């Protein structure tokens, strides 16, 4: 009986550990990509830009909160501009109509927090919106309601707050692409992980 249990445990370990390693690796890589963005000087600029497609980006020295997420995923070879655009084109009715659009716009659709939320709900893992800091791990995406209809998004990274209790967030809320202890600074309205479609 003990031999059977050992064999079953070995099968379980061999079957699960590669999946766990890939997840951990992806989370680590996304965290590192987000941290690297904080080395670039970026001015907060919500201007509408015409950009190329796919893999289009606003000028490298400009951006908003969504551009942090887009740029981090691009460093890992995932183009949210194209992914969101293709899904919106195929399922336009599932995405918010807050901007009065009648069709998709590859210049801006992926740069809107509510659109990213729908995309991550459809293709990522929806995680708890809890007040427990341990529920938020490196590579997670967090969305907040800042009030007055304004939404915000950032990436959870592996670095911790000075007291060691919370993961830091890489985001851009006005001071450029920065690393800050802001996980519970606003009302959390979305919590996801997305390893790529």
pLDDT tens-digit profile of 10-35? 444 444 444 444 446 899 999 999 99
Q: Is the pLDDT of residue 134 over 60?
A: yes
- pLDDT tens readout for residues 147-196: 999 999 999 999 999 999 999 999 999 999 999 999 999 999 999 999 96
Q: Is the pLDDT of residue 117 over 80?
A: yes
Across-strand partners of 151?
A: 145
**Separation in Å, CA 139 to CA 23, 105, 108:** 10, 27, 24
Q: Is the pLDDT of residue 3 over 90?
A: no
- pLDDT tens readout for residues 30-74: 999 999 999 999 999 999 999 999 999 999 999 999 999 999 999
* Banded model confidence at residue 8, pLDDT cuts 50, 70, 90: very low
Average pLDDT score over residue span 80-109: 95
Question: What is the predicted pLDDT for the residue at 103?
Answer: 94
Instruction: Give percent of the chain above pLDDT 90.
Output: 83
Question: What is the predicted pLDDT for the residue at 100?
Answer: 86
More confident residue, 126 or 102: 126
Average pLDDT, the chain: 90
CATH topology of domain 2-193: endopeptidase fold (from Nostoc punctiforme) (3.90.1720)
Reduce the secondary structure of the chain to three states and give it as a string: CHHHHHHHHHHHHHHHHHHHHHHHHHHHHHHHHHHHHCCCCCEECCCCCCCCCCCCCCCCCEECHHHHHHHHHHHCCCCHHHHHHHHHHHCHHHCCCCCCCCCCCCCCHHHCHHHHHHHHHHHCEECCCCCCHHHCCCCCEEEEEEECCEEEEEEEEEEECCCCCCEEEEECCCCCCEEECCCCCCEEEEEEECCCC
């Amino acid at each position: 009986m003990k031999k059977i249990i050992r064999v079953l445990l070995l099968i379980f370990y061999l079957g699960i550990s590669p999946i766990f390693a890939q997840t951990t690796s992806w989370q680590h890589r996304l965290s590192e990509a987000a941290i690297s963005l904080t080395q670039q000087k970026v001015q907060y600029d919500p201007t509408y830009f015409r950009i190329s497609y796919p893999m289009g980006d606003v000028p490298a020295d400009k951006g908003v909160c969504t551009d942090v997420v887009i740029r981090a995923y691009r460093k890992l070879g995932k183009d949210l501009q194209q992914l969101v655009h293709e899904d919106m084109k195929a399922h336009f009715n599932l995405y918010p109509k807050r901007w009065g659009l009648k069709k998709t716009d590859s210049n801006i659709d992926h740069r809107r927090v509510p659109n990213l939320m729908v995309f991550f709900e459809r293709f990522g893992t929806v995680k708890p919106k809890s007040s427990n800091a341990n529920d938020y791990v490196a590579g997670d995406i967090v969305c907040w309601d800042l009030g007055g209809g304004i939404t915000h998004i950032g990436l959870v990274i592996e670095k911790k707050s000075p007291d060691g209790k919370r993961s830091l967030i890489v985001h851009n809320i006005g001071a450029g692409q920065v690393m800050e202890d802001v996980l519970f600074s606003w009302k959390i309205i979305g919590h996801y992980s997305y390893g790529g479609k």
